[in-house]
Structure 1
Amino acid sequence: MPVDTTVRPANGPVQRADRALAPDLTRGAMLLIIALANAAGVAFAGEPGLPSDPQGAERGLTFLLFELAHARGYPVFAFMFGYGMVQLARRQDTLGSSPRQVRALLLRRGFWLTVLGFAHAALLYYGDFLGAYGIVCVAVTLTLLRRGDRFHRIVLVIWALSLLELLVLGGIVVHRVLTGSGDAPLPVGHVDSLATASYADSIAARLAEWPAHTLSTLPFVVIAWLGMWAARRRVLERPGAHRTLLVRTAVAGIGIALVGALPAALVGAGWLGVDASTARLALLLHGGSGMFAGPGYVAVFGLLAARVTRPDGPVVRGLAALGRRSLSGYLFQSVAWLVLLLPFTLDLAGRGAGAPTAVVVLVAAGVWLASVLIALRLDARDRPGPAETVLRRLTYGAAARRRRRSHGRAA
Structure 2
Amino acid sequence: MTGTPVHDPAAPGPAAADGSGSASPVPVSRRLLAPDLARGVMLLFIALAHVHIFSLFVGGENSARDTVADQVVTAATIMLVDFRSYPMFAALFGYGLAQIHARRTAQGLPRPRVSALVRRRGAWMVVFGVAHAALLFLGDILAVYGTIALVFAGVLYWRDRSLVTLAVLWLPLPLVASALEGYSRFTSGASYLPPAEPGVLNEMVHRLMVFPFISVLMFASTVVPFVIGVLAARHRLLDEPHRHLRLLRSAAFAGIPLAVLGGLPMALAKVGVWTDPTDLQALLSVGAHQVTGYAGGLGYAALIALFAVRAADRRGPVVTALSALGQRSLTFYLAQSVVWTVLFASYTLHLHVSPPEGVGIAVAVWVCSAVAADLMRRRGTRGPAEVALRRLTYSRASR
CA RMSD of aligned residues (A): 2.8
* Equivalences for residues 262-273 of structure 1 within 5 A: 262-273=264-275
**8 A contact 1:61–1:358 mirrored in 2:** yes
Which of 367, 370, 378 in structure 1 is aligned with 2:368? 370
Distance 1:292 1:50 in 2: 28
Length, aligned pairs only? 369
Distance 1:133 1:91 in 2: 20
Structure 1 residue aligned with 2:99: 87
Runs of 5+ in structure 1 lacking a partner?
Answer: 1-7, 174-182, 403-411
Structure 2 residue aligned with 1:77: 89
Code of the residue aligned with 1:240 in structure 2: it is H
Structure 2 residue aligned with 1:207: 208
Distance 2:390 2:38 in 1: 21
Code of the residue aligned with 2:330 in structure 1: it is L
Structure 1 residue aligned with 2:378: 380
- What's the CA shift for 1:275? 3.6
Code of the residue aligned with 1:186 in structure 2: it is G
- What's the CA shift for 1:311? 4.8
- What's the CA shift for 1:268? 1.6
Distance 1:339 1:63 in 2: 27
Q: Relative to structure 1, is the Cα distance of residues 229 and 199 closer, same or farther in structure 2, using a 3 angstrom cutoff?
A: same
Code of the residue aligned with 1:237 in structure 2: it is D
- What's the CA shift for 1:156? 6.4
**8 A contact 1:67–1:265 mirrored in 2:** yes
Which of 65, 68, 71 in structure 1 is aligned with 2:80? 68
* Equivalences for residues 313-324 of structure 1 within 5 A: 313-324=316-327
Distance 1:265 1:104 in 2: 44
311-320 or 130-139, which moves further after superposition? 311-320
- What's the CA shift for 1:366? 1.1
Structure 2 residue aligned with 1:347: 350
TM-score by length of 1: 0.82
**8 A contact 1:45–1:191 mirrored in 2:** yes
Structure 1 residue aligned with 2:6: none
Per-residue Cα deviation, 1:24-79 (whole angstroms, up to 9, x for no partner): 11110011011001101111339x97535332211111111111111111111001
Q: Relative to structure 1, is the Cα distance of residues 380 and 98 closer, same or farther in structure 2, using a 3 angstrom cutoff?
A: farther
**8 A contact 1:261–1:289 mirrored in 2:** yes
Structure 2 residue aligned with 1:178: none
Runs of 5+ in structure 2 lacking a partner?
Answer: 1-18
Code of the residue aligned with 1:201 in structure 2: it is N
Q: Relative to structure 1, is the Cα distance of residues 121 and 366 closer, same or farther in structure 2, using a 3 angstrom cutoff?
A: same
Distance 1:72 1:49 in 2: 21
Structure 2 residue aligned with 1:260: 262
Which of 302, 307, 310 in structure 2 is aligned with 1:307? 310
Distance 1:116 1:241 in 2: 37
- What's the CA shift for 1:380? 1.0
Per-residue Cα deviation, 1:193-212 (whole angstroms, up to 9, x for no partner): xx331111111111112222
Distance 2:161 2:187 in 1: 47
Structure 2 residue aligned with 1:152: 163
Distance 2:93 2:61 in 1: 25
Q: Relative to structure 1, is the Cα distance of residues 285 and 191 closer, same or farther in structure 2, using a 3 angstrom cutoff?
A: farther
- What's the CA shift for 1:11? 4.1
Distance 1:88 1:184 in 2: 44
- What's the CA shift for 1:266? 1.6
Code of the residue aligned with 2:106 in structure 1: it is T
Per-residue Cα deviation, 1:95-117 (whole angstroms, up to 9, x for no partner): 44333322221111010001111
Per-residue Cα deviation, 1:78-105 (whole angstroms, up to 9, x for no partner): 0100001011122223344333322221
TM-score by length of 2: 0.85
* Residue 234 of structure 2 is aligned to residue 232 of structure 1: yes
Q: Secondary structure at the match of 1:397?
A: helix
Q: Identity of aligned pairs, percent?
A: 37
